[in-house]
């Protein structure tokens, strides 16, 4: 895992713990080990966060360090 990917995971876990209180499912895909998933989800850069539900799919690239931006894109934390 790259440093940037590690930071993204840490930042996302904090956001989920603070705003979703266990009401989420998180799947981490290592594209070096699961290339099929990378193709299936059309991952073209890392780190990539893909929100599948509820409502429409959203994709965010980067280390997720801007919490307010992540919350706005994911439509959570209001």
The CA distance from 10 to 34, in Å, is 21
Model-wide pTM > 0.75: yes
Q: Where are the domains of the chain?
A: 3-74
Which pLDDT tens digit goes with each residue over 7-36?
999 999 999 999 988 888 888 888 889 999
The domain made up of 3-74 has a fold known as Glutaredoxin (3.40.30)
Which pLDDT tens digit goes with each residue over 35-52?
999 999 999 888 999 988
Contact 55, 75 (CB under 8 A): yes
């Amino acid at each position: 895992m790259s440093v940037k990917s590690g930071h993204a995971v840490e930042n996302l876990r904090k956001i989920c713990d603070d705003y979703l209180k266990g009401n989420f499912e998180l799947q981490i895909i290592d594209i070096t080990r699961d290339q099929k998933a990378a193709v299936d989800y059309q991952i073209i850069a890392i780190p990539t966060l893909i929100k599948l539900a509820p409502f429409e799919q959203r994709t965010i690239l980067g280390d997720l360090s801007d919490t307010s931006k992540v919350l706005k894109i994911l439509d959570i934390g209001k």
